[in-house]
Structure 1
Amino acid sequence: MTLINGLPAHILLVHVVVVLVPLTALALVAAAVWPRAAHRLGVLLPVLGLVSLVSVPLTTNAGEWLERHVDDDPLVRKHTELGDGLLPWALGLFVLAVVVWWAGRDLRRAASTAEGTERVGSRWSALPVRIVIGLLSAVIAVGAVVDVYRIGDSGAKAAWHDGFSKSAHSEHDGDGS
């Protein structure tokens, strides 16, 4: 995917990544530390993680196409290099989203069957397991959000570093209108 309605696809797809990766990170941490949130999110959590994961290589590929169609610029190269590092974070979000969803699913299923309640329920609700999943989720979430910020900041600098005037221009400067 290179163009959407005549515009480079990257400048449109990047908004999907900028919204979904932090949203997925927030949902993951909430679900990992708050079982009620995991229950409410249900299958939406891994679906959100999957859409975030898929959006990253789509946006990266569109960005690489765009890079070949703009002037050579060190800021663009830095942005491209940073962008290549987001996929592992998105993969981590997705994997942990599946783990948290699956564990919550096992817990809900165990609650409905008297025999499995102790075995399955105690596995997910055990405090050490919840602490490890919560900490791991927080680390991956923070890493992903920080990486999205760094990539976005470098992209904005690459796109706008010489594309605007620091002083406002107006047709009516000085005439009071």
Structure 2
Amino acid sequence: MTLINGLPAHILLVHLVVVLVPLTALALVAAAVSRRAARRMGAVLPVLALVTLVSVPLTTQAGEWLERHVTDDALVQRHAELGDGLLPWALGLFALAALIWWTGRSATKADSAPVPADGAFWSAAPVRVAAMVLSLVVAAGAVVDVYRIGDSGAKAAWHDGFSQAASNGGTDH
């Protein structure tokens, strides 16, 4: 995908990533921390994470096309390098969202079953704690990475693209 309605696709697709990654991260943490939230979200959580995952390489590919069609610049190169690092975070969001959804489904089925006498009920606790910690780490990493990428992209796009002085007769509104 290179152009959408005559505009570089990257500048439009990037808005998906900027919204979806933090939204997915927030939903993931909520589901990891609260079983009730996980049950309420149901399959929406992994579907949201999948859409987020798919949007990242689409945006990156569109960005690579745009990179070849703009003036070679160190800021653009820095932005492209940072952008290449988002896919592992998006993959982590998806994997954890799928895991939490799947274990939530299993827990719902197990809730209706009697607790085994051998204490197997408690064996899920370490997995749940690990999922919470991993979700917090991956969510924070993904959001920070999106911020860093967006900041570098804004600097690359606007570093010489505006004037400190107003062009509307000298008045600032």
TM-score (norm 2): 0.92
**Equivalent residue number for residue 151 of structure 2:** 153
**Equivalent residue number for residue 105 of structure 1:** 105
CA distance in 2, matches of 1:58, 1:43: 23
2:70 alignment partner, SS class = coil
**Equivalent residue number for residue 57 of structure 1:** 57
- Please, which runs of 5 or more residues in structure 2 have no aligned partner? none
Q: Is the 8 A contact 1:43 1:101 kept in 2?
A: yes
Runs of 4+ residues over 2 Å off in structure 1: 117-124
121 and 19 in structure 1: CA distance in 2 versus 1, 3 angstrom threshold: farther
CA distance in 2, matches of 1:120, 1:35: 19
Deviation (angstroms), 1:164: 0.5
- Please, which runs of 5 or more residues in structure 1 have no aligned partner? none
120 and 152 in structure 1: CA distance in 2 versus 1, 3 angstrom threshold: farther
Deviation (angstroms), 1:104: 0.3
Q: Is the 8 A contact 1:106 1:120 kept in 2?
A: no
- For these two proteins, the number of residue pairs brought into alignment is 169
Q: Is the 8 A contact 1:17 1:55 kept in 2?
A: yes
Deviation (angstroms), 1:95: 0.2
CA distance in 2, matches of 1:101, 1:68: 40
**Equivalent residue number for residue 7 of structure 2:** 7
What is the identity percentage for the equivalent residue pairs of Structure 1 and Structure 2? 71
1:91 alignment partner, SS class = helix
CA RMSD of aligned residues (A): 1.6
One-letter identity of the residue aligned with 1:138? L
TM-score (norm 1): 0.90
1:165 alignment partner, SS class = coil
**Equivalent residue number for residue 94 of structure 2:** 94
**Equivalent residue number for residue 68 of structure 1:** 68
